[in-house]
Structure 1
Amino acid sequence: MTTRTDEAIKKEVIDQLYWDDRVDASEINVTVDSGTVELEGNVGSYSAKGATSTDAWAIEGVSTIDNKLNVKYPETFEVPSDDEIKTNIETSLSLNLSIDISNIDVSVTAGIVTLEGSVDAYWKKVRAASIASGITGVLDIINKLTIVPSENFIDKDIAQDIIDSISRNYKVNVDNVDVKVEDGKVILSGTVDDWSAYRAAMDAAEFTAGVIDVDDNLIIESL
């Protein structure tokens, strides 16, 4: 298969950003070096910043993304106060029945959100941050939530559950992915073909019961 040039990748990333109605790409600068995409400039919300990474990963040949975008609201926009942001995040979390917010503490300082406390599954930690990212006024998120499983799990069983999940997914060659688990912490290494395969492998780890953290050492092979 022919290796894609950086210029070809750059053009498609830019086209994808301008296509995405969630993103104002007019203040985004894109550079590509050996498949590594760097995004710099400003976007109008934290959720838009996340969308730019998703857009870039959709492009064939992208191996790494360095998202340096800043969240900058229009001068005419009345940014919510920290207390309002905190209240809105807590309300949104409370509406998600899969997350028990009784052990979650939300604090906001100058638009930077810190999540502290505990949840009983790794995917709930990820989900809590995702919910917070959609709240207007958020500039960044520091996720300090810890995982306290509701029951005891054996590392080898966790690893086997992850391997079994990966092997069932047609997007990933399980022989190219190494899974290790130490005290509930998953270490993923090896190679995957593209972003969708990477995401599938990460999902297999994040959604498995007993996982308290994921150390991602996977390499996306640039085409």
Structure 2
Amino acid sequence: MARTDESIKKDVADYLYWDDRVDSSDISITVDDGEVKLDGTVTDYTSSKNAVLDAWDAEGVTKVENNLEVEIPTEVTVPTDSEIESNIKNMLEWNSSIDASEIDVDVSTGVVTLDGVVDAYWKKLRAEDVASRATGVLNVTNELAVVPTEDVLDKAIAEDVVSALETKFTVNADDVDVKVEDGVVTLSGTLPSWTSYRAAMDAAENTLGVTDVVDQLVIE
């Protein structure tokens, strides 16, 4: 039996309330046919990302629309753009899995833009995650290009993604259609939960040779 929107909304509100990383006092939740919309403000960018994950934890959620804006409390000393930029560069350099020398960081009124080159798609995501954790960040625009250090045939990439899917017990590989063109992986199909969706995305994002992932998956 499908869950009601009201019961889903209650669960989302509870998860947000219980999550100490998120101040949910200024978050508004609406649910329509399993699709959750988050509006309002949070105190930092990571709270916005965590609020989305909390919403997905509620059973019956099929989509989450994040309209949250970051409003840093007045009592918090906000770093200047140049300080945020310097902090992010240092954080990237401290991360041993990323070659920070190929990444350019620009900050304008708290909005971070990442430009440059990484050699794997997961490193593009990792760099964005690192940048999002810096104090004073309001948003992150990730324009990093993925240029693999070795050529991998599309057929081999597709086979590796399918093999990775088959190792994950939270997703049925037969539910996911995988297509690869010039290193760009397109995933399509219908999945039963956020957990299976994340497993499918992880399989593609962490495969050697992938330059981008096009998400056409549907959760029902």
User: When the two structures are superposed, what TM-score results if normalisation uses the length of structure 1?
Assistant: 0.98
- 1:28 to partner: Cα distance: 0.3
For structure 1, list consecutive stretches of 5 or more residues without a partner in the other structure: none
Amino acid at match of 2:104: D
Q: Does 1:10 find its partner at 2:9?
A: yes
- Give the AA of the match of 2:121: Y
Alignment of 1:103-118 (within 5 A): 103-118=102-117
Displacement, 1:15? 0.5
1:106 alignment partner AA: V
2:43: which partner in 1?
Answer: 44
Matched AA of 2:16: L
Paired with 2:94 and 2:143, the residues of 1 have a C-alpha distance of: 21
Q: Distance in 2 between matches of 1:148 and 1:175?
A: 30
Deviation at 1:65, TM superposition (A): 0.4
Task: Give the CA RMSD over aligned residues.
Answer: 0.5
Aligned-residue sequence identity (percent) comes to 55
1:76 positional shift? 1.8
Q: CA deviation at 1:6?
A: 0.3
CA deviation vs aligned residue, 1:56-104 (integer Å, no higher than 9, x gap): 0111000000000000011122211000100110000000111001110
Output the CA distance in 1 between the equivalents of 2:75 and 2:143: 33
For residues 153-194 of structure 1, give each alpha carbon's deviation from its aligned partner in whole angstroms, at most 9, with x where no partner exists: 000100000001101111111111100000000000001110
The residue aligned with 1:63 is 62
Alpha-carbon distance in structure 2 between the residues aligned to 1:97 and 1:25: 34
Tell me the residue number matched to 1:94: 93
- Give the Cα separation in 2 of the matches to 1:134 and 1:77: 15
Secondary structure, counterpart of 1:151 in structure 2: coil
SS in 2 for 1:21: coil
Residue 90 of structure 2 corresponds to residue 73 of structure 1: no
Separation in 1, partners of 2:21, 2:171: 29
Matched AA of 2:216 = N
Three-state SS of the structure 1 residue aligned to 2:218 is strand
SS in 2 for 1:32: strand
Q: Which residue of 2 aligns with 1:119?
A: 118
Aligned to 1:186, the other structure's residue is in SS state strand
Structure 1: how far apart are the matches of 2:97 and 2:168?
A: 25
- Partner residue of 1:28? 27
